[in-house]
Chain A
Amino acid sequence: MNRISLKVTGAQGQGVNSVGEMLARGLKDAGYCVFGYREYMSLIKGGHSSYQLDISDAHIGSSEQMVNILVCFNHHGLERNIRDVKQGGIVLHQTPDWEWNTEDARWLQEHQVTVVSLPTEQVLHELKAPPILGNTFLTAVVWSFLQQDCGVLESLLRGRFGRKGERVLQMNIDCLQKACAYVASLEKAPFVTLPATNVRWSGHMLLTGSQAMGFGIIHAGCRVYAGYPMTPSSPLLSFLADMQNRTRMVIKQAEDEITAVQMASGAMHMGARAMTATSGGGFDLMTETLSMNGIIENPIVIGLAMRPGPGTGLPTWTAQGDLLLAVHSGHGEFPRCVLSVSDAQDAFDLMPQAFNLAEQYQMPVIVLFDKHIAEALYTQEFYDQEHTVIERHLPDTAQLQELQGADRYAVSSASGGVSPRWLPGTQAATYCAQSDEHSGDGSSEEGAQNASAQMDKRMHKLEALAAQLPEPELFTVHRGQISEVRNAVHPEVLFLGWGSTKGAVLDALLELTSDNSSLIAGYLHYTYLWPLKTDRFSLLSQKARQTILIEGNKQGQLGMLLRQQCGIDIPKKILKYDGRPFCTDELHELLSQFISPTSG
């Protein structure tokens, strides 16, 4: 695998995203797998933000900490980000008369970094073009340094600006030509050689995790979505809202998170598929309703987009700090299912599953994701829609006629605690969805025997669910390849993680095992986090020379859950809780400490 990384930095609102997106689109079309990562602050204008693209001929699902090319819209990037540039890298900037301090100048020289000061202002002046066109100039300069065909970028610009009128389009084309001419005029242009293209990527989609989840939600037949704005769940709300006139979904921006989850619960109870998503603080507000859905055995799907807490925390950054919240939140004891998205593939795949599980087991399903997934840009193949099955587990007309009200929460039901659920409005016996402890038809019932029996009934569903859920997925990595799961092979070093960590861990392991051909490394990835399956983990961790937990939180929450459920402690941990996702090169270094022969 060959990868190149490029980071564009600037003030928020300056065009950083625009340049990042244009380059991503162009490079993907040219035949590269592109992974995009945005960093920004919780404000609208100003601030310091960045858009990083990692580019490869092979599949990549993560960013590097150190980049080959740094593009700085303003001097803040020059002050803050030059130490992010790799040995022999390039810095492009457009700050006139910029002078490095002695220390930075020495650093740049020692690391053989080439600095190019771009004549953006002068070019815009010559073209009488507004400052926004600087984005196109910058994009085109980077494009040329990457030795890409200017014609490809031109057609991209035509697609992007064609609708905005001939004048706007022409100015963009002029900027492009100026940029190409400028690069050609340089005596020693710092060209960067990208790996060979692979045509398969050009047919892929370029989309964010939020869009991927949105597609999954639409595909799953969700017809009502209620939400309240909170980063990083807001892009999902925006996406579904923008799609509503085509999908014909009912989208409701509620007055608060309690409303959002109650509305979604009401809609789901009535028989639509409905959902809400929020972040930690909003989820806290939803937890009483979560518990309510537990006792009325109402299916509900709640997306929990993690960002660092506690409190308002780091609103625009990422974390995996809400696993225990998802598993333990809500008063009383009730069954639930917790799933976790790790990339743009399962962001889609897990949504129909979440709804199916919610309806099959009549329980809340929480889908964890995080800021990194919500806003990362993935190169993603088209989703397989053929194999999706919508499973509602509702009685047919003949069965409806047989039902008594008391069947709704009947304890006698032999089917793993799952009693028949039918929808209000259907011509059948009626019942009460009763949040007080209740008898079969939902009548309030405070008897001791009934209380235990109903609790047993509800919790019994967890056993059936656990039996249905798969064990965590094992990726065996050897000689730079991910091999099929072979139970016979026991990785000598076992890494363990969940969520968005997967992309960076796998990318790092591919590199590590290329460097070390004798190593067989395993990455055990948890997608289904509650009820927690521990058999494969127990077996593999017993066989492995060492087991290392990798999580984006302070306490190693998956490790805590595993110890709670199967008694195995994982003392070796790589934990990160600074708001930043794991990066490949960072993990490469950290993981290699565990696999070097001396660390045995």
Chain B
Amino acid sequence: MKSYSCGNTCTWCDGCGNYGIWAAIKRSLVELGIPPHGVFLCYDVGCHGNMSDKLSGYRFHGLHGRVIPFAAGAKLANPRIPIIAHGGDGACFSEGVGHLVHAIRSNYTMVFILHNNANYGLTTGQASALTWQGQPMNSAPNGMPEATLPSMDFVFSLQPTFVARGFSGDIPQMVSILKAAIQHRGFAFVDMLQACPTYNTFATHEWLLERVYDVAADGHDPSDFVRARAIAVDTSERISTGILYQNTAVPGFYERLKSREGIQTFPVEEVQKYDVREYMQELV
């Protein structure tokens, strides 16, 4: 764990779910034997993004809503390096929702952690698409008129290859989820339910703690798409956590590229002067 530590002091509120997620990320990387120089951690903008300088490793902290395509581009350039991208529910289901759709469709081999605290924390508590309908929030004293976006149903409708749900209060489970996600072939969507003690007064740490259960302990088979979708979507009484669905038979985007078949090198290793004489000859 020490190799991932960093001198900067955390700036999250007391009781913020990011502390647990932060610990779980470092632990999962250490347990997988990945050194800091062997990983690329990409952060969107939001409270979670303030993790970008609170740990070691090659990191990127970019624009709001755009972390997925940057991370995907990095992956295409160097598929050897595991990539973990982070984004909040604001960035992922409003500003950059198109990127999520196409990342799942493209099945880029990378982990995406949804820091899901059901509000815009860093901009002081506005409603996100995942805030409960009618919940009074900053800038929405009467609550949002729109229905809450059914995020899990939406994700499952896109034929994902890996869907998990973690809870920021359960570090060992997050570690086991993240290790599987990092090793997954394809796009691993990890919904991390996290407490926001300052702005989320509805789905609090305690509220979540009372409802979460581990699907593995319940005997859930992660290859069962229909069952996985059902337990992911129905959170009316209990909230399923753990690896909900995984399909390892679908190749990642890079693996599907005909242009790359039979090549052992990766684009980062191929930057050199290319001779185009043969192509020029064809245009005479």
Partner of A443, one of B53, B70, B277: B53
Tell yes or no: A390 within 8 A of B by CB. Answer: yes
B277, A266: Cβ atoms closer than 8 Å: no
Interface check A568, CB cutoff 8 A:
no
- Residues of chain A lying within 8 A (CB to CB) of residue B57: 430
Query: Of residues 64 to 102 in B, which have CB atoms within 8 Å of A's CB atoms?
Result: 66, 69-78, 80-81, 98-99, 101-102
User: Which residues on the B side are within 8 Å of A255 (C-beta)?
Assistant: 98-99, 101-102
Per the 8 Å Cβ criterion, residues 194-249 of A in contact with B are 203-207, 211, 215, 218-221, 223-224, 226, 243-249
Q: Is the CB of B72 within 8 A of A263?
A: yes
Complex Cα gap A441–B99 (Å): 29
**Chain B residue nearest in CB terms to A262:** B69
- Whether A207 lies near B268 (C-beta < 8 A) is no
Known: A218-B274, A272-B78, A434-B53. A288 touches B69 (CB 8 A): no
- Distance of A392 Cα from B279 Cα, bound (Å): 25
Flag whether A502 is at the interface (Cβ < 8 A). Answer: no
B284 within 8 Å of A by Cβ? Answer: yes
The reply to whether A215 and B267 contact each other, CB–CB distance below 8 Å, is no
- Encode contact with B along A243-269: 1 for CB under 8 Å, 0 otherwise: 111111111101110111011111111
**Counting CB contacts under 8 A, is A274 at the interface?**
yes
Please indicate the chain B residues that have their CB under 8 angstroms from the CB of A256 in the complex: 98
Binary per-residue interface labels of chain B (243-266) against chain A in the complex, 1 for a CB within 8 Å, 0 otherwise: 000000000001001111001001
Chain B residue total in the interface (Cβ 8 A): 56
| In the assembled complex, B63 has its CB within 8 A of some CB on chain A | yes
Contact (Cβ within 8 A) B280 A224 = no
Q: List residues of A (266-307) whose CB comes within 8 Å of B's CBs.
A: 266-274, 288-289, 292, 296
Binary contact readout B107-120 vs A (1 if CB under 8 angstroms, 0 otherwise)? 00000000000000
CB contact between B78 and one of A226, A244, A425 (< 8 Å): that residue: A425
The verdict on B40 contacting chain A, using a C-beta distance below 8 Å, is yes
B236 within 8 A of A: no
Q: Which of A88-96, A381-389, A456-464, A472-480 lies at the binding interface?
A: A381-389
Give chain A's interface residue range (CB within 8 Å of chain B): 35 or more
Mark B34-58 against chain A: 1 for CB-CB distance below 8 A, else 0.
Answer: 0011101010010000101100111
- Please report whether the interface of chain A is mostly helix, strand, loop or mixed according to DSSP: mixed
Which of chain B's residues have a CB closer than 8 A to the CB of A430? 36-37, 56-59
Q: How far is the CA of A292 from the CA of B69 in the complex (A)?
A: 14
**Chain B residues closer than 8 Å to A389, beta-carbon distance:** 273
For B275, list chain A residues within 8 Å (CB).
219, 385
A249 to B257: give the CA distance in the assembly, Å: 10
Q: Does B14 reach chain A (CB closer than 8 Å)? A: no
CB distance from A410 to the nearest CB of B (A): 16
CB pair B276 A266 closer than 8 Å: no
Q: Which residues of A contact B62 (CB under 8 A)?
A: 262, 292, 296, 433, 435
Contact B260 A250 (CB under 8 A): yes
If the complex has contacts A244-B259, A262-B66, A271-B77, are A425 and B40 also in contact, measured as CB distance less than 8 A?
yes
A246 to B258, CA, bound (A): 11
Please report the C-alpha to C-alpha distance between residue A537 and residue B284 in the assembled complex, in whole angstroms: 38
> By the criterion CB–CB under 8 Å, are B59 and A274 in contact?
no
CB–CB B271/A390 < 8 A? yes
Interface code B165-193, partner A: CB below 8 Å = 1, 0 otherwise? 00000000000000000000000000000
> Is the pair B99, A425 in contact by a Cβ cutoff of 8 Å?
no
The reply to whether B59 and A433 form a contact with Cβ atoms under 8 Å apart is yes
User: Across the two chains, which residue of chain A brings its CB closest to B65?
Assistant: A258
A252 neighbours in B (Cβ, 8 Å): 76
Closest chain-B Cβ to A11's Cβ sits at a distance in Å of 28
Assuming the contacts A255-B101, A255-B102, A433-B60, asked whether A272 and B80 have C-beta atoms less than 8 A apart, the reply is: no
Tell me which residues across on chain A come within 8 A of B74, comparing CB atoms.
266-267, 269-270, 424
8 Å CB contact of A205 from B60, B258, B271, B283: B283
The answer on a CB contact under 8 Å between B283 and A206 is yes
CB-CB under 8 A for A248 and B76, given A427-B37, A430-B37:
no
Residue of B nearest to A205 (CB): B283
**B172 CB to nearest chain A CB (Å):** 26
Give bound CA distance, A382 to B63, whole Å.
42
The 8 Å CB contact of B73, one of A262, A292, A382, A431, is A262
Across the interface, do A266 and B70 meet the contact criterion of CB distance under 8 Å? yes
Whether B69 contacts A443 by the Cβ 8 Å rule is no
Nearest A residue to B270, CB-CB: A223
CA distance A407 to B265 in the complex (A): 29
Residues on the B chain within 8 Å of A206, using CB? 283-284
Q: Report whether B40 and A289 are in contact in the complex, using a CB–CB cutoff of 8 Å.
A: no
Set of chain B residues within 8 Å of A292, measured between Cβ atoms: 62-63
Do the beta carbons of A224 and B76 come within 8 Å of each other?
A: yes
User: What residue of chain B has the Cβ atom nearest to residue A265's Cβ?
Assistant: B70
Contact residues in A for B37 (Cβ distance below 8 Å): 425-428, 430
A423 at the interface (CB under 8 A from B): yes
Chain B positions within 8 Å of A433 at CB level: 59-62
The residues of A that contact B259 with a CB separation of less than 8 Å are 244-245, 247-251
B157 at the interface (CB under 8 A from A): no
Residues on B with C-beta less than 8 A from A271 are 77-78, 268, 271
Q: Across the interface, do A263 and B263 meet the contact criterion of CB distance under 8 Å? A: no
Residues of A close to B272: CB separation below 8 A: 221, 390
Q: Which residues of A contact B76 (CB under 8 A)?
A: 224, 250, 252, 263, 266-267, 272
Residues of B within 8 A of A424 (CB): 40, 58, 74, 78, 81
A192 within 8 A of B: no
**How far apart sit A382 and B101, CA to CA, in the bound complex (Å)?**
44
Residue A415, interface by CB 8 Å: no
Chain A contacts for B266, CB-based, 8 A = 272
Question: Is B8 interfacial (CB 8 A cutoff)?
Answer: yes
Residue A20, interface by CB 8 Å? no
25 A-B pairs in the complex with CB atoms less than 8 angstroms apart: A207-B283, A219-B274, A219-B275, A220-B274, A224-B76, A224-B77, A244-B259, A247-B259, A247-B274, A250-B260, A258-B69, A265-B70, A266-B71, A266-B72, A266-B75, A267-B73, A272-B78, A289-B66, A392-B271, A424-B74, A425-B38, A431-B58, A431-B59, A432-B60, A433-B62
Give A residues with C-beta under 8 Å from B: 203-207, 211, 215, 218-221, 223-224, 226, 243-252, 254-256, 258-260, 262-274, 288-289, 292, 296, 352, 382-383, 385, 388-390, 392, 423-428, 430-436, 438, 441-444
List 17 additional contacts besides A245-B259, A425-B37, A425-B268; criterion CB under 8 Å. Answer: A250-B77, A250-B254, A255-B102, A263-B70, A268-B77, A270-B77, A270-B81, A296-B60, A382-B280, A383-B276, A385-B277, A431-B58, A431-B59, A432-B53, A432-B59, A433-B62, A441-B53
